[in-house]
């Protein structure tokens, strides 16, 4: 039986910070990252690839607004926009993974799955929306939109404008996990949990499955999937080669290895901010505490190296 690795693509794996996001740029970056995953395939890992969708779904929301403003094209809700991004990004990773494999003697099928993530409608996160999505607005525009649509807006910390914010509930389960597990066990490369998955919940009385306007953290949802399919390794790809303490300070220090307890200690001490490394650390810790062998946080440039990144174990 081959080992299973779940690899969570960060934004940098698809789009660099200094790029505008043309399809040519995204495809090149995706191919570069996929090429680096070949070493995992050669080391007898079966792969599940997950990915973020921040810039892409933001652009979809902008198209929503522009299409309605100019042509009165009906706006689509956030769950449909996330599904759109899963399809487009999944297709892009699928094709570039096939291109990467075509240069080798390996033979693997690749499939992208539109994925829903189960959340609890009673999650406290719904009472305190914090996740910014979509474009920036002037305060006056934000006030009008909030009144017309019952939306919540918050000012950007860098004073670039006001953005709509939605809840970011905790992922409880991944729909289609059994299908994903079966496919990956048979050697197929599966692309799933795009953008953290589309958040859905069951109505307790009618057992009706409904989507809700929210965004699930991609790394936390990926950790849930990794746990459920009993992955051996969980890679979180980000824009730094290792996890640091005292990050961006004169005494910053790269960490080669952390136990789950050490990681939680640093997290509680404020070393890993909520809007940056924090969710990645939480996802890694939850994976190893639920039975995974190790989680690795590293950059896409380093993933093919034998002792890459920061390794987190129990």
Return the DSSP state at 276: T
Active site residue 35: no
For the question of residue 11 being annotated catalytic, the response is yes
Dist CA 140 CA 159 (whole Å): 15
Residue 12: per-residue pLDDT:
77
Q: What pLDDT shows up at residue 212?
A: 96
Is 131 one of the catalytic residues? Answer: yes
Q: Kindly tell me if the per-residue pLDDT of 11 is higher than 90.
A: no
Q: Catalytic one among 58, 218, 292, 309?
A: 218
pLDDT confidence of residue 313: 98
pLDDT band at 274; cut points 50, 70, 90: confident
Q: Is the pTM of this model over 0.85?
A: yes
Q: Tell me, yes or no, if 139 is annotated catalytic.
A: no
- Checking if the pLDDT of 109 tops 80, the result is yes
Report, in this order, helix, strand and coil percent for the chain, each rounded to 5: 40, 25, 35
DSSP state of 299: E
- Please pick, among 12, 29, 53, 64, the residue that the annotation labels catalytic: 12
Q: Which of 36, 131, 177, 181 is catalytic?
A: 131
Go through 121-133 and write b for each residue having 16 or more CB atoms within 10 A of its CB, e for each that does not: eebebbeebebbb
For the question of residue 218 being annotated catalytic, the response is yes
| Tens-digit pLDDT profile for residues 224-263 | 999 999 999 999 999 999 999 999 999 999 999 999 999 9
Marked catalytic residue, from 53, 280, 292, 309: 280
Backbone angles phi, psi at 196, to 5 degrees: 90, 0
**Which domains occur in the chain, in start order?**
3-114+171-313 (3.40.1160.10)
Q: Which of 11, 134, 194, 196 is catalytic?
A: 11
What's the pLDDT at 238?
A: 93
pLDDT reading at 276 higher than 90: no
Query: How many CB atoms within 10 Å of residue 138?
Result: 10
Residue 18 has pLDDT above 90, yes or no: no
Q: Judge whether residue 176 has pLDDT over 80.
A: yes
Q: Residue 58: its pLDDT value, please?
A: 87
């Amino acid at each position: 039986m081959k080992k299973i690795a779940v690899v969570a693509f960060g934004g940098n794996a698809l789009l660099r910070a200094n790029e505008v996001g043309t399809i040519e740029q995204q495809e090149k970056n995706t191919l570069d990252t996929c090429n680096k995953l070949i070493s995992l395939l050669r080391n007898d890992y079966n792969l599940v690839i997950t990915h973020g969708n921040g810039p892409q779904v933001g652009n979809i929301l902008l198209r929503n607004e522009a299409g309605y403003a100019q042509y009165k094209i009906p706006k689509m809700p956030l769950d449909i926009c996330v599904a759109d991004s899963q399809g487009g990004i999944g297709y892009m990773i699928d094709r570039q993974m096939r291109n990467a494999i075509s240069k080798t003697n390996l033979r693997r099928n690749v499939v992208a799955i539109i994925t829903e993530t189960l959340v609890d409608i009673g999650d406290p996160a719904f009472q305190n929306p914090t996740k910014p999505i979509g474009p920036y607005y002037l305060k006056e525009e934000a006030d009008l939109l909030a009144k017309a649509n019952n939306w919540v807006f918050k000012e950007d910390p860098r004073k670039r404008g006001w953005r709509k914010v939605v809840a970011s509930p905790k992922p409880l389960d991944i729909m289609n996990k059994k299908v994903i597990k079966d496919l990956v066990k048979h050697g197929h490369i599966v692309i799933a949990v795009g953008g953290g998955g589309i958040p859905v919940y069951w109505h307790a009385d009618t057992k009706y499955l409904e989507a809700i306007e929210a965004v699930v953290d991609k790394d936390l949802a990926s950790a849930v999937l990794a746990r459920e399919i009993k992955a051996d390794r969980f890679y979180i790809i980000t824009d730094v080669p290792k996890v640091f303490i005292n990050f961006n300070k004169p005494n910053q220090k790269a960490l080669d290895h952390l136990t789950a307890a050490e990681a939680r200690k640093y997290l509680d001490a404020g070393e890993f901010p909520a809007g940056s490394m924090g969710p990645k650390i939480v996802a890694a810790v939850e994976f190893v505490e639920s039975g995974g062998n190790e989680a690795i946080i590293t950059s896409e440039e380093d993933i093919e190296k034998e002792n890459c990144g920061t390794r987190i174990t129990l």
